[in-house]
Amino acid sequence: MATREVISTGNELSAMAAVDAGCKFFGGYPLTPSSEVMHVISDLLPKVGGVAIQMEDEIAGICTVIGAAMSGQRALTATSGPGMSLKAENLGLAQMAEVPLVCVNVMRGGPSTGLPTRVSQGDILQSKNPSHGDYKSITLCAGSLAECYTETVRAFNLADRFMQPVIVLLDETIGHMHGKADLPTQEEVTAGIVPRKSFDGPAEEYFPYECGPTEPAVLNPMFEGYRYHYTGLHHDKNGFPTEEIETCRKLIQRLEDKVAMHEDELESYEEFMMDDAEIMIIAYGSVSLAAKESIRHLRAEGIKAGLFRPITIWPSPAKKIKEYTDKIEKVLVAELNIGQYHSEIQRAAARLDIDGLFKVNGRALSPHEIVSKVKEL
């Protein structure tokens, strides 16, 4: 497979990926440590006929992205934890109206203003349910510079496939890391673009929300002759508000099942030295890089450790986690929060004896800290 070598940062690579994946609109507001995504894409989009707008705040940013996506464009916003909090209501609107978009969240310390320039993975649970109500979120997490690119590309394809927001998690460390990345070629990315479905029959036969119980809506771009209604209320097959009991039930069940029944299309993870592992480390994002280095040290000392790294965070690869935790007694979850994914591992494994290594002072977990914790096990 042909590749291209690029020296860049994670944030810059995410912006490049969006443009290569066919994104034509960015709406957002600069927020540390995600601002470089906006800076870079503001330069790139005009060159391909796209538009980037800095809005007055994060709320307006997500609103413009929803509008662009309604017109049929691939659209991106980027922010950090506090911005995700502000975007929450409109992310819920996009879930209910089934508007596809991508949101890059470069995680920093929180809650509230927190540690703006320091690393954290404190938005894991927020990304599972960024807005109120019942739906199933799709969240990807980059664990390398190359994945800042490839997971952003994948996010756009998944957004159009499932007709909903897709969140891409970076963290401050990986977003600002500068190094070499081997990326797929532009031709390969273009060939892999999965366009959203559209209806091409008579306008009077078009019902955007009349679809199978495990399938997304089919929303034709605005201004192309097909009329329908967008709303955050429960709605019928035309999109018009309704309180009819069975219509409401089927709608919410479908928002869940269109993802839940197709998790095989979403599942993605990495296994590192897991073939003979007697101790399993579970880590994601930048922490997984430290975990790999720690595993090399442990193996040199005769300790058979391995790494399981979820790339699709939500829905979690629960079946694979259970498969490993059924046969490996010693499991350590390492993350830069107080156990937000640890609880998901316990649930998936149906075990309460999963160890954790947590750090929440804005500093990265070092390989030395992980090695020391593993030796305690």
DSSP H helix total and E strand total for the chain: 13, 15
pLDDT beyond 80 at 2: no
| Consecutive H or E run containing 255 | helix 245-260
Count other Cβ atoms within 10 Å, centred on residue 377.
Answer: 12
B/e letters for 309-340, b = 16+ CB within 10 Å, e = fewer, are bbbbbbbbbbeebeebbeebeebbbbbbbebb
Q: What is the pLDDT of residue 134?
A: 97
Query: What single-letter amino acid sits at 42?
Result: S
- Give kind and range of the element (H or E) at residue 357: strand 355-358
What is the percent of the chain where pLDDT is above 70? 100
Assess whether pLDDT exceeds 90 at residue 173.
Answer: yes
- Give pLDDT, residue 290: 98
For the cut 70, the answer to whether the pLDDT of residue 37 exceeds it is yes
Which residue segments constitute the domains of the chain, with CATH numbers given? 3-191 (3.40.50.970), 270-376 (3.40.50.920)
Q: What percent of the chain has pLDDT over 90?
A: 97
CB of 357 closer than 8 Å to CB of 369: yes
Interatomic CA distance for residues 164 and 239, integer angstroms: 16
Q: At what angle do helices 318-325 and 342-349 cross, to 10 degrees?
A: 70
Band (194; pLDDT cuts 50, 70, 90): confident
How high is the pLDDT of residue 283? Answer: 98
Q: Tens of pLDDT along 49-78?
A: 999 999 999 999 999 999 999 999 999 999
Condensed to tens digits (0 to 9), the pLDDT of residues 218-255 reads 999 998 889 899 999 999 999 999 999 999 999 999 99
Tell me 235's DSSP state.
B
For residues 199 and 222, what is the distance between their CA atoms, to the nearest angstrom?
12
Tokens of residue 146, six digits: 């190359």
The per-residue pLDDT of the chain, averaged, comes to 97
Over residues 285-337, the pLDDT tens digits come to: 999 999 999 999 999 999 999 999 999 999 999 999 999 999 999 999 999 99
Distance of CA 17 to the CA centre of its chain: 14
**For residue 260, what are the contacts with CB-CB under 8 A and spacing of at least 6?**
136, 315
pLDDT band (50, 70, 90) for residue 106: very high
pLDDT band at 8 (very low <50, low <70, confident <90, very high): very high
Residue 88 has pLDDT above 90, yes or no: yes
Query: pLDDT tens digits for 150-172?
Result: 999 999 999 999 999 999 999 99
pLDDT at site 1: 61
